[in-house]
Structure 1
Amino acid sequence: MWRRVLPHPWLSLILMLMWLMLVQSVAPGHWLLGAALGWAIGRLADRWLVLGAFRLARPDLILRLSGQVLIDIVKANLEVAVMVLGRTARLRPAFIVVPLDVEHELATTALISIVSLSPGTLCAELSDDRRALLVHVLDLEEEAALVALIKSRYETPLKEIFQCLPS
């Protein structure tokens, strides 16, 4: 019965959290709207959404990763504000390639969303073979360090969260 009312509870929860991050507000109205959007999109997507075979191996990591992403977004907002309000001539925009180890489509989508939600970075392209992301960075200090940060801070937990089952 619950599956008919809420066919994809994790998807609905993730969509609600993403809504709260997008609007950058935790007002009760946004919680309600985020929950309604998460529920409605989950219900509508049930007909064509193919999540593939996977199990959510570490649901506790979702909360930890969400907290880390939220903290990183706040920090990045402050850093970008300082950069933009300061001398923009010092900015070093660049494109970098981040090789991917995640194989599940939802994990890849989550990684792209996380990187793009962070001010100062934007995923510009996913390679045709889905093994690399092209990321635009507003101010690049060291490419290898940023690639390592993205992989360790976001990709590694996503690989643990989305443990894929053999087909």
Structure 2
Amino acid sequence: MKRLFPAPLLTLTLWALWLVLNLSLSPGNLLLGALFGVAAPLMFAPLRPLPVRMRKPGVALKLLMVVGRDVIVSNLAVARTVWLAGHKPPRSVFVKVPLDLHDANGLAALSMITTVVPGTVWSELALDRSVLLMHVFDLEDEAAFIAHFKSAYERPLMEIFQ
């Protein structure tokens, strides 16, 4: 059964999404939705990440709060920098952040956090996952930025995933 339905919840969700998007419960749409719901997880099963084991959900909740705060603070900082760009242009730089986090799920979460926080962009990850190249919109102190990045995001993700 697991071979035919590697992700039963995903199969049901895709089938329901198909029906909702087509706004029809006709037999053809029921069949096509079911076919899509079964075929897509089978085709993409090799691409699914390893099973996730969250070790410390409390740390994950705290990380969520930190990211939420940083999103708000960074939005305000980027808006201020853009507003005052005529007086003081931003100091955009690429920063190499050494990584201790090597778990694939943790790195995926870190890439999403980096993308969500305004003013930072995940640019490249070394093949051995030891260094992350990031673009930072406006940076005053590289060492302080790296220290904040590692303590605010990387260490909690290591606690959660490794």
On the 8 A contact 2:10/2:41 being kept in 1, the answer is no
Asked whether the 8 Å contact 2:93–2:137 carries over to 1, the reply is yes
Q: 1:127 to 1:51 in 2, by over 3 A?
A: same
Structure 1 residue 51: deviation in Å?
Answer: 3.3
Pairwise mapping of residues 38-77 of structure 1 onto structure 2 (< 5 A)? 44=41, 47-52=45-50, 55-77=53-75
Q: Confirm or deny: 8 A CA contact 2:52 2:105 kept in the other structure.
A: no
Matched, 1:94 2:98: no
What is the CA-CA distance between 1:44 and the residue it aligns to?
A: 3.9
Q: TM-score, normalised by structure 2?
A: 0.70
Question: Does 2:101 correspond to 1:113?
Answer: no
Give 2:136's aligned residue.
137
Quick check: which has more Rg, 1 or 2?
2
State the Cα distance separating 1:147 from its structure 2 match: 0.5
- SS state at 1:90 partner: coil
- Normalised to the residue count of structure 1, the TM-score between the two structures is 0.68
Identity of aligned residues (%): 39
Structure 2 gaps of 5+ residues are 1-6, 12-36
What residue ranges of structure 1 are gaps of 5+ in the alignment? 8-39
Amino acid at match of 1:124: S
- Match for 1:71: what amino acid? R
Partner of 2:53, secondary structure, is strand
How far apart in 2 are the matches of 1:83 and 1:104?
A: 35
